[in-house]
Amino acid sequence: VSGASGALVVSSRLDREELCGKSAPCLLRLEVLVERPLRVFHVELEVTDINDNAPIFPAARKNISLPENSPPGSRFLLEGASDADIGVNAQLSYTVSSSEHFRVEEENSNSRSKSLFLVLTKSLDRETIPVHRLLLTASDGGRPSLTGTVELVISVLDVNDNAPQFNQSVYNVVLPEDALEGTLVAQLNASDSDTGIYGEMVYEIDTVVPPSASDMFSIDTNRGEIRLRGTLDFEAVTLYELHVKATDKGTPPLSGHCKVVLEVQDVNDNAPDVLVTSLSVPVPEDASVGTVVAVLSVSDRDSGANGRVRCWVWPSGPFGLEATFSGSYSLVLREALDRETIPVHRLLLTASDGGRPSLTGTMELVISVLDANDNAPQFNQSVYKVQLPESAAEGMLVTRVNATDPDVGSNSELSYTVTNFFPPSSKDVISINPKTGEIHLTGNLDFEEVNIFDFRIEVRDQGTPPLSGHCKVVLEVLDVNDNAPEVLVTSLSVPVPEDASVGTVVAVLSVADRDSGANGRVRCWVWPSGPFGLEATFSGSYSLVLREALDRERVSEYEVEVRAEDGGSPSLRG
Ligand SMILES: *[C@@H]1O[C@H](CO)[C@@H](O)[C@H](O)[C@H]1NC(C)=O
Ligand SMILES: *[C@@H]1O[C@H](CO)[C@@H](O)[C@H](O)[C@H]1NC(C)=O
Ligand SMILES: *[C@@H]1O[C@H](CO)[C@@H](O)[C@H](O)[C@H]1NC(C)=O
């Protein structure tokens, strides 16, 4: 206070906030003493507010955590700012830096304690923006207005809102069917953008198509490796489809799915199969060329070249293969058969596929040939010459004819007959055993009657129709001295006159012996000879001639024998 003028002056800066804090009005009560005369004045000095304090937040930065699944509209209480001023200078309004997810909201339940809320306007996604940074500004009502800020660091808390996801929806794999057990089929790779256990996953095979193959594959649940647990077989299954899922460890867990398509490649692991579908054996020997003997089915379970089969037969004749339609072959006759040369054919059928290396299947076929009556019986000799003495006894074996027939069975069952007799009258002389071909005498021979026989023999088999062969048996009869010479008087001139001259023919004789050769060669003489002698005139004829003069008075009558003896041994006489 100025002592002279009594002016009250401000000696140091007034600070309403320091003096009065939040209370209003801010009155400074002064007692002013005036001496001489002593008087006391009461002075009330009101300090009015000016906006000299900016709003202040408790901290420059505020960490907030929000679960990412908070629904839009959720409100989170914020600590507001304070302003040491009063009145409008302390009237705060809030704004937040522009954000599509957040706004601030003041709630004037009563004006004394306003609540400040952070309001979520849009769903959060930790995986897109894990942390939001906002600047919250508080402005007071002064003119000019003062502001204070706080940085809101909003961390979005993970929830299990992401399912694991495979890097491919379909994994295409090709493996040969001979892939070993344990072969890696596929390395799956799923990822989960959640964190912690929400992002940890377990791989599992859900289903396998075909279902029977569910034990064929194993999966490493942590690493997603699928391996073969069994052996593949292209011929059984060519394509597998595995539905695999990856599940995270959230509660509840989420899963992702993928498909593994395994194509099996054929390997030449099957040899061709030769199968006889029908077989007509035995084959008749007279079957015509082109006759189908067997129908074969040739198959190979492999595919493509591995299953393409080539077929042949060994030896190459007399049978051949003809392809009829896919995988079917006919074994046909290519050349005429001859059972007598080869009665049984052993064929080797070979089928080989086009794999590398190629596999081979074989089959042995035994084809027997059924006899046809295609061979006539044949005699060992065309002519059998036999000599027998005419004295041969009835029943004696003349000869045995023998024929052979290379056919079998009734086609070679032979029977013998005599078809022609020469001379024709000789039917009863011989007989033949139809089975054995033995020829026996059934009558007597007589050289003098027939000295040579000629028989025609037929042999016949029992085929249908039967075939026959022929031979000739010539039987020569040998003479035996069985006929005595015979002497006959052809003419006789008796009595003889006593004076007949020497040389007179008394009788003409005929001498014969039916035997031949020495047996028929006859010597003749007169006994006792007396005056007579024999003179051969011509063959077999003799004359009894007078050799001496007769004398009736001495001998009136002669009795003579003409004797004949043949040359047989022993000789016979007549
Ligand atoms: C907020 O979080 C940051 C990093 O996350 C940390 O350094 C800081 O100390 C935290 N502040 C408070 C007030 O918790
Ligand atoms: C999965 O794929 C990701 C990216 O493609 C790669 O970084 C990771 O190593 C893969 N995991 C496996 C197990 O191969
Ligand atoms: C998926 O992951 C597997 C394993 O890591 C990998 O071999 C394959 O190339 C990946 N596929 C793609 C399309 O990235």
Six token digits for residue 73 = 């509209």
Tell me the percentage of the chain whose pLDDT exceeds 70.
99
What confidence tens digit (pLDDT) does each residue in 451-480 have? Answer: 899 999 999 999 989 999 999 999 999 999
What confidence tens digit (pLDDT) does each residue in 262-291 have? Answer: 999 999 999 999 999 999 889 999 999 999
Q: Ligand 3 centre from 366 Cα, in Å?
A: 61
Nearest CA to ligand 2 atom 12: 189
Instruction: Name the band, by pLDDT with cuts 50, 70 and 90, for residue 569.
Output: confident
Mind listing the domains of the chain with CATH numbers? 1-48 (2.60.40.60), 61-157 (2.60.40.60), 165-265 (2.60.40.60), 273-370 (2.60.40.60), 378-478 (2.60.40.60), 486-566 (2.60.40.60)
Residue 566: CB atoms within 10 Å: 25
Q: Mean of the pLDDT values across residues 92-120?
A: 84
**Phi/psi at 375 (5° precision):** -125, 130
State the pLDDT at residue 107. 81
List Cα–Cα distances, 378 to 337, 402, 430, 458, in angstroms. Answer: 21, 8, 22, 10
Alpha helices in 341-388 (DSSP H): none
Q: Ligand 3 centre from 250 Cα, in Å?
A: 25
Tell me, what DSSP letter sits at residue 281? -
Residue 215: CB atoms within 10 Å: 9
Is the beta carbon of 417 within 6 A of some atom in ligand 1?
Answer: no
Evaluate whether 203 touches 221 at the Cβ level (below 8 Å): yes
**Predicted TM-score of the model (pTM):** 0.57
State the pLDDT at residue 34. 83
Q: Ligand 3 centre from 407 Cα, in Å?
A: 80
Instruction: Name the band, by pLDDT with cuts 50, 70 and 90, for residue 227.
Output: very high
Cβ partners under 8 Å of residue 300, min gap 6: 270, 271, 272, 273, 306, 307, 308, 309, 351, 353, 359, 361
What does the mean pLDDT of the chain come to? 91
Is the beta carbon of 63 within 6 A of some atom in ligand 1?
Answer: yes
Higher pLDDT among residues 533 and 5, named by residue = 533
Q: Mean of the pLDDT values across residues 394-417?
A: 93
Six token digits for residue 467 = 């075939």
State the pLDDT at residue 133. 95
**DSSP element (H, E) containing 517:** helix 517-520
What confidence tens digit (pLDDT) does each residue in 155-201 have? Answer: 999 999 889 999 999 999 999 999 999 999 999 999 999 988 899 99
* For residue 67, cis peptide bond before it (omega within 30 degrees of 0): no
State the pLDDT at residue 538. 85
Nearest ligand 1 atom to alpha carbon 62: 13
Nearest CA to ligand 2 atom 8: 189
Q: Ligand 2 centre from 246 Cα, in Å?
A: 15
What confidence tens digit (pLDDT) does each residue in 306-361 have? Answer: 989 999 999 987 999 999 888 899 999 999 999 999 999 999 999 999 998 999 99
State the pLDDT at residue 109. 59
List Cα–Cα distances, 356 to 138, 269, 327, in angstroms. Answer: 86, 10, 20
Ligand 3 contacts (CB < 6 A) are 167-168, 187, 189
Q: Mean of the pLDDT values across residues 539-554?
A: 90
Q: Ligand 3 centre from 232 Cα, in Å?
A: 24
Pocket test for ligand 1, best of 63, 65, 79 (most atoms within 8 A of CB): 63
Tell me the percentage of the chain whose pLDDT exceeds 90.
60
Evaluate whether 197 touches 158 at the Cβ level (below 8 Å): no
Q: Ligand 1 centre from 146 Cα, in Å?
A: 27
State the pLDDT at residue 427. 86
Ligand nearest to the CA of 184: 3
Gap between the Cα atoms of 84 and 386, Å rounded: 170
Ligand nearest to the CA of 130: 1
Evaluate whether 282 touches 368 at the Cβ level (below 8 Å): yes
Query: What is the total residue count of the chain?
Result: 574
What confidence tens digit (pLDDT) does each residue in 34-53 have? Answer: 888 888 889 898 998 889 89
State the pLDDT at residue 411. 92
What confidence tens digit (pLDDT) does each residue in 59-85 have? Answer: 999 999 999 889 999 999 888 899 888
Cβ partners under 8 Å of residue 109, min gap 6: 115
**Phi/psi at 195 (5° precision):** -105, 170
Q: Mean of the pLDDT values across residues 389-399?
A: 91
Q: Ligand 2 centre from 162 Cα, in Å?
A: 18
Residue 288: CB atoms within 10 Å: 8
Gap between the Cα atoms of 152 and 509, Å rounded: 185
Ligand nearest to the CA of 260: 3
Instruction: Name the band, by pLDDT with cuts 50, 70 and 90, for residue 112.
Output: low
- Tracing tokens 């058969």 back to the chain, one arrives at 337
Long-range contacts of 207-211 (CB under 8 A, 24+ apart): 207/242, 207/243, 208/240, 208/241, 208/242, 208/243, 209/240, 209/241, 209/242, 209/243, 210/237, 210/240
Pocket test for ligand 3, best of 171, 173, 184, 187 (most atoms within 8 A of CB): 187
Q: Ligand 3 centre from 129 Cα, in Å?
A: 26
Q: How many CA atoms lie less than 13 Å away from 179 in the CB half-sphere?
A: 23
Q: How many CA atoms lie less than 13 Å away from 452 in the CB half-sphere?
A: 5
Nearest ligand 2 atom to alpha carbon 191: 1
State the pLDDT at residue 32. 86
